Structure 1
Amino acid sequence: MPSRRTVLTAAAGVLAGLPVVGSATASLAAPPAGAGSPIPDTLARRVAVNARGRVDESTFPLTHLAVGWTGAPEGAAVRLRTPSGWSDWRPLHGCDGGRDVGGDTGRRALLTVPGGIGYEVTLPGAGTVTELNTVDGPTRTTAAATGSSLTLSTRRIGRPYLSRAAWGADESLRFTADGTERFPAAYFPVQTVTVHHSAGINDDPDPAATMRAIYYDQTITRNFGDFGYHLAIDEAGRVYEGRWSGSDRVPIYGGPLGPDRRPQMNNAAHVGGFNAGNVGIVLLGDFTSRQPTAAARQSLVYVLAAVVALGGLDPLGTTNYVNPISGATRTVPTIPGHRDWLATLCPGDLFYPQLAGVRQDVADLLG
């Protein structure tokens, strides 16, 4: 009788040719700019905040705000100023990523604020606000085409896919002024796959612009050196390449095959202290009080199925994780949420209980 690992590995082949998200979900978020569309430089300004701060008029129109603070995950709030006046106060729900060594490890929330011209924040402790505009800067390059499917090592997933070149990652941000790579690649066998939400935002009106905002905030403001997650999924079910993993254009994986001849993942920065061997997938949105769209959830299941199959992992099992760099250990579900690792609200109070159903869907898809 075949082992569970044999069944999972063989069943991964069913992922080929899965349906692409259709027109019924396309209206949930504006489609990314097509091939050859201009990609602007990101405009950014960082402001220090001592528990409370207010800016009545920013130096440029805002598309996003990245708010960071120390202390408790609860208690942070923001209100926005637009040409029509001030909004009501809204709580901030952070996704607290981080590198295993170095980089900011405080609370962080990123908000989509189209039309924003000012803001006021109240925080549990000292913090910073990074003002961002990812759509109005001078043109830096043009977008590559959106793919009709995503290739993960030897597996193909039939979902629309945007490489870093398609959503407009500025690769120069990964390097210091003297050309040193901020977060050099390091490859490890996959032990687990963690689910996040981006928190504080949805992906309207332009999910590619939101990807550029997350990228700048994590790479520069938070000093991660690159996008912290391996993949992102928007509300229409499109999949985005996150962390750079090599020059072969295949996300997540790179370097030599592992000791068991399976593909290895590049280390990223999404669960501080527990990154090496831990693939991070983020859904664009805040699922504290709402669920992901059906299209996003379906793409998540397909991607998770490919990753656990390639790693020979049991989606319904647990993992005795060992960080191959530091030796830190933790026993978690093989497909955990961020809060299974650390004290955080991620991936949202409403969505987190649904992860058991996601795991079952992955297992059903695989056999």
Structure 2
Amino acid sequence: MPTRRTVLATAAGVLAGLPVLGSASASLAAPVPAAGSPIPDTLASRIAVGARRKADEARFPLTHLAVGWTGAAEGAAVRIRTAKGWGDWRPLHGCDGGRDGRATARRALLSVPGGVGYEVQLPGAGTVTELNTVDGPTRTTAAATGSSTPLSTRTVGRPYLSRAAWGADESLRFTEDGTERFPAAYFPVQTVTVHHSAGINDDPDPAATMRAIYYDQTITRDFGDFGYHLAIDEDGRVYEGRWSGTDRFPVYGGALGPNGRPQMNNAAHVGGFNAGNVGVVLLGDFTSRQPTAAARQSLVGVLAAIVALGGLDPLGTTNYVNPISGSTRTVPTIPGHRDWAATLCPGDLFYPELPGVRQDVADLIG
């Protein structure tokens, strides 16, 4: 009987014989932690707010700001104060996710390097979580960045950061009494959904942003872990998201499924439609800007690996059935988040490009 590792290796080998979609850049714009470099604790302060809050001085220098609110999606805005003064107001929008069976709240996570204060205005009551993911006391040291992504090593050809490489604090996945907040549950892959994080573009520290997303989704939003399975930064590096097991392969875990293929670990990126639905998020905001060529190339490679492993048709349509709740939805096999819910994700400018992404995936698989 084939093992999960054999199936993964075979699929990666098939993809390895196909043309490489670009190689890793010789000089990447935004650095990531070097092996052995210190990883800090995340500093966090959560505050309940009314429709408006102004904080000239946050409780500590900010790297990120997480804002949640009730009411309409439109009408939320923020401005940030740095050492140079107050910036302009900007609308808040995010990628609203959540675990199956739970209410989905409005949520936005901002990268605010150099931020010392902020002002928010919201359609209703909400919360603000002040975050600093770079200046806390050292918690551990970073694992090495891999030269390629285990899903399809030679095809993706992009650096890969495991949770240990970008600095996930695994203790956050457990309550004080040791209970796992989001226990693993494995299901056959039916679809692979594309998201954007709706954060800043030209992020100077994407690993710090990964730690901010992780804290916000695990603790503030009570997902219990990172909501997406994989993330891709603007340099095309691939990051492990949701914990899936103790081996080196992200996304998958547990026993092989009834079809003899590897199963994904359930996550929290599309409320009500998570089980069997792999989530891949591009770091950045693609409402009025396209992803970089490097990010798109890595996305195509990752999608090709996942659909090949699942025996899926990247140009097809899937009659999705949630194996937990029985909820159904007919969507493209590679949908955008807005194919599932009323959201701007994965960005007004990028969403119309998804048919081309699907074709690129199909061409890569052959």
Normalising by the smaller structure, the TM-score range is: over 0.9
What amino acid is aligned across from residue 21 of structure 1 in structure 2? A
Aligned to 1:5: none
Aligned to 1:84: 84
* 1:219-249 residue CA offsets vs partner (Å, 9 max, x unmatched): 0000000000000000000000000000012
- The Cα of 1:202 is off from its aligned counterpart by 3.0
How many angstroms apart in 2 are the aligned matches of 1:304 and 1:97?
20
Equivalences for residues 95-134 of structure 1 within 5 A: 95-102=95-102, 105-134=104-133
Aligned to 1:21: 24
Aligned to 1:3: none
Aligned residues of 1:288 and 1:348 also touching (Cα < 8 A)? yes
Runs of 4+ in 1 over 6 A off after TM superposition: 9-12, 153-156
How has the CA–CA distance of structure 1 residues 231 and 194 changed in structure 2, closer, same or farther, with 3 Å as cutoff?
same
Aligned to 2:65: 65
- The Cα of 1:155 is off from its aligned counterpart by 8.3
- Structure 1 residues without counterparts, runs of 5 or longer: 1-8
CA RMSD of aligned residues (A): 1.7
Aligned residues of 2:63 and 2:134 also touching (Cα < 8 A)? yes
Equivalences for residues 1-367 of structure 1 within 5 A: 13-15=14-16, 18=20, 19-23=22-26, 26-27=28-29, 30-102=30-102, 105-152=104-151, 157-202=156-201, 204-367=203-366
Is 92-101 or 319-328 further displaced after alignment? 92-101
- The Cα of 1:23 is off from its aligned counterpart by 2.7
How many angstroms apart in 2 are the aligned matches of 1:10 and 1:178?
40
1:150 is paired with a residue whose SS is coil
How many angstroms apart in 2 are the aligned matches of 1:359 and 1:12?
21
How has the CA–CA distance of structure 1 residues 153 and 254 changed in structure 2, closer, same or farther, with 3 Å as cutoff?
farther
What amino acid is aligned across from residue 161 of structure 2 in structure 1? L
Aligned to 1:6: none
How many angstroms apart in 2 are the aligned matches of 1:290 and 1:77?
20
1:177 is paired with a residue whose SS is coil
What amino acid is aligned across from residue 74 of structure 1 in structure 2? E
- The Cα of 1:346 is off from its aligned counterpart by 0.5
TM-score (norm 1): 0.93
- The Cα of 1:11 is off from its aligned counterpart by 9.6
How many angstroms apart in 2 are the aligned matches of 1:293 and 1:327?
37
Give the number of equivalent residue pairs.
355
How has the CA–CA distance of structure 1 residues 58 and 10 changed in structure 2, closer, same or farther, with 3 Å as cutoff?
closer
How many angstroms apart in 1 are the aligned matches of 2:221 and 2:128?
11
- The Cα of 1:12 is off from its aligned counterpart by 7.1
Give identity over the alignment, percent: 83
1:108 is paired with a residue whose SS is strand
- Structure 2 residues without counterparts, runs of 5 or longer: 1-9
Aligned residues of 1:112 and 1:203 also touching (Cα < 8 A)? no
Is 168-177 or 195-204 further displaced after alignment? 195-204
2:306 is paired with a residue whose SS is helix
Is 316-325 or 49-58 further displaced after alignment? 49-58
TM-score (norm 2): 0.94
Aligned residues of 2:152 and 2:301 also touching (Cα < 8 A)? no
How has the CA–CA distance of structure 1 residues 198 and 80 changed in structure 2, closer, same or farther, with 3 Å as cutoff?
same
- The Cα of 1:156 is off from its aligned counterpart by 6.5
- The Cα of 1:80 is off from its aligned counterpart by 0.4
How many angstroms apart in 1 are the aligned matches of 2:260 and 2:232?
28
